[in-house]
Structure formats: C-alpha cells, structure tokens
A = this chain, B = another copy of it.
Amino acid sequence: MASSARRPERRQEPLSRERIVTAAVELLDTAGESGLTFRALAERLATGPGAIYWHVTGKGELLAAATDAVLGTALAEDPGASPRDAVRTLALGVFDALDVHPWVGAHLVSTESHAPTLPLFERVGRQVRALGVPESAWFTAASTLLNYILGVAGQNAANTRRAAPGTDRAAHLGGVADAWSALDPAEYAFTRSVAGQVRDHDDRAEFAAGIDLILDGITALSR
C-alpha cells in the first residue's frame, strides 16, 4: 500500500482530451470564434501546440468536441411532457445553449458533418411521430422544425456575437430598431413598420412563437 499511496494522479494536472475541450470552450466563450488558436490554447494549458495534437486530431475535431460538450447538456428528455411541450423544451434548450455559447450556432450551421445535429433531429422526430403526423410527412415535418431551429441558431448567434459582451440585450435591440427606422421609406417600408416591434421584443418568446407556428402547420397535417 505504501507504494501505491503515492498516487501519481496529479503529477501536474496531466493533459487530457477533456481538459483540452474544456479550455477550448472557455476560450471560445471569452475570446470568440477567432480566439480559439492552438497557441492560445497551449498557453492557457501551459504547454506547447504539439502536446495538444497528441490528444486531438486537429482543429475540426476540437470544434466538434466543444460543440458536443455544449449541446449535450441541452438535449435532456422529459418523458412526461406532451409532444408539443417536448418540442418546445427541446428547441428552447438549444436556444439557451446558443445564447450562452454563440459560436456553436455558426459551427452547427456551417459544418459539413451532420453528426452534431443528428441527435437533435432524432429527438424532434420522435415528437413529430407522437403528434400523430402521417408517416409520409414525418421527414418533412421533422426537417422543417430542425431547419427553423438551426436558422434561428445562426441568426441569433450573429446577433449576440455582434452585441458587445458588456452591453445588454435591450440596448442592442434598440440599436437595431434605430437602424431600421433610418432606412429608406420607399425601399424598406415593411422593415420600418416593424422596427417598433423589434425594439421591445423578446427573442426567446419570438423563437417559441415560431415553433408554435410550425407546430400548427404540422398538426394541420394530421387531420
């Protein structure tokens, strides 16, 4: 026992894939998408770039792992909920995760792999099935929902990325409203007319309203 008592566990907090991914998420959250560089990551972990490459294939895998880490917590399932509520919960979970980690949206929407969106598609699809949609429309209904979620993901990511980290939501929305009000009345009549609505709107509620809108269209298919 004496020999095994000297545990080598934290020789100096050994590098691990998990530690790297955690640091990558922190870096992305604080410094933005362009802030994730192998050199910055190496400095934060008090090591060199080469060591990181021993645990991780490259930047692509690093981003994928970071995305999974963030999104995984947002996909919890609640067996008791109605299909409608389940979809809403799912969608809002993604929305909230992207609100905290704006870079996920950009990656989700522009990655070449379906891997990160597949679990989301599956969970959305199950609820679509539970809604009583005819089988022939399953795919259409599920991908419409997914596409909407991802579309908002990208847009919202762009929004929160643009807003300075310190400034609050209201100030930013006010800025957008001002910009829209200043547009050419002839060319942007509609946009100007809804500038007021954007000033004091709630993105989250708006997003949920969009989900409901699509769910209405979907349930109309069941009859």
- Chain A residues with CB under 8 Å of chain B are 105-106, 109-114, 118, 121-122, 125-126, 128-129, 135-136, 138-144, 146-155, 157-158, 161-162, 176, 183, 187-191, 193-194, 197-198, 201, 206, 209-210, 212-218, 220-221
Contact = CB atoms under 8 A, between A and B. Distances in A.
A122 B210 contact: no
A126 B188 CA distance: 9
* Interface SS, A side: helix
Contacts of A201: 139
Nearest to A213: B217
Nearest to A123: B190
Given A109-B158, A142-B190, 13 more contacts: A109-B151, A110-B158, A111-B158, A129-B190, A138-B193, A139-B198, A142-B194, A144-B214, A146-B155, A150-B154, A212-B217, A213-B221, A217-B220
Contacts of A152: 147, 151
Nearest to A33: B110
B213 A138 contact: no
A193 B210 CA distance: 27
Contacts of A216: 216-217, 220
Contact of A125 (B109, B142, B194): B194
A144 B129 CA distance: 23
16 contacts: A109-B110, A118-B183, A121-B190, A121-B191, A125-B194, A139-B206, A141-B213, A143-B206, A143-B210, A144-B210, A144-B214, A148-B148, A151-B153, A151-B154, A154-B154, A213-B214
